[in-house]
């Protein structure tokens, strides 16, 4: 077993914790581990660590484990945990911050979620809304499954549920400005 340099590990976990606290606005110590978030999370069954456990890892200085976890990539930002939390811990924002930090360190746990996330944000930045058809094509090509759900496209097109051409919102420049401000503050440029 590799010798563990405790002081370096502690320093690195402190830095990680500070970064996710700053990015999310969540104070990790606010969580008193009641578990209400995990009990109400609709995707907890598919997570490797429950949402409560992810915060516990950060509290214990085991942030690297949180970064490696699948949980932040599965979080749907549905807010169910946040509305139930008696301590008002904003878990969806914390999950986002952990995901961004993992991406920054090249520790993407679920590549397909990452591809979809980036494609979705690129579409919103470009058009002010998601262009479903472009999103599907980009996601399928980048995830190496070009014909995924291909048979669904014709009926959806015929019924006008998806459009081959993107529709821009009126003030798309304002949306672009929001993205620029996020980047200026150190946010991920997806
Ligand atoms: S509900 Fe809130 S206080 Fe309870 S474990 Fe979850 S985050 Fe912590
Ligand atoms: S926001 Fe994420 S962690 Fe919270 S309940 Fe929804 S999926 Fe679960």
Question: Is any ligand 1 atom within 6 A of the Cβ of residue 16?
Answer: no
Token couple for 47: 């997570």
Q: Could you give the 3-state DSSP secondary structure of residue 159?
A: coil
Q: Are 110 and 48 in contact (CB under 8 A)?
A: no
pLDDT of 37: 97
48 phi/psi in degrees, rounded to 5: -80, -40
Average pLDDT, the chain: 91
Taking only the tens place, the pLDDT of each residue in 31-56 is 999 999 999 999 999 999 999 999 99
Report field, pTM of the whole predicted structure over 0.75 = yes
By the 10 Å C-beta count (0-12 exposed, 13-18 middle, 19+ buried), 31 is classed as: buried
Q: Whose CA is nearest to atom 8 of ligand 2?
A: 41
Residue 1 has pLDDT above 60, yes or no: no
Taking only the tens place, the pLDDT of each residue in 131-145 is 999 999 999 999 999
By most ligand atoms within 8 Å of CB, the mutation choice from 53, 72, 92 for ligand 2 is 92
């Amino acid at each position: 077993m590799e010798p563990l340099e405790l002081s370096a590990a502690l320093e690195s976990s402190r830095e990680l914790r500070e970064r996710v606290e700053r990015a999310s606005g969540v104070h990790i110590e606010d969580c008193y581990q009641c578990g209400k978030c995990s009990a109400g999370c609709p995707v907890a069954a598919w997570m490797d660590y429950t949402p409560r456990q992810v915060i516990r890892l950060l509290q214990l200085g085991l942030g690297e484990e949180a970064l490696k976890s699948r949980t932040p990539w599965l979080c749907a930002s549905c807010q169910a945990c946040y509305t139930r939390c008696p301590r008002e811990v904003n878990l969806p924002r914390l999950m986002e911050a952990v995901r961004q930090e993992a991406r920054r360190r090249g520790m993407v746990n679920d590549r397909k979620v990452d591809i979809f996330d980036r494609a979705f944000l690129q579409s919103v930045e470009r058009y002010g809304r998601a262009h479903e058809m472009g999103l599907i094509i980009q996601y399928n090509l980048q995830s190496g499954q070009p014909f995924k759900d291909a048979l669904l496209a014709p009926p959806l097109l015929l019924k006008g549920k998806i459009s081959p051409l993107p529709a821009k919102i009126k003030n798309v420049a304002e949306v672009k400005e929001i993205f620029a401000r996020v980047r200026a503050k150190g946010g991920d440029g997806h």
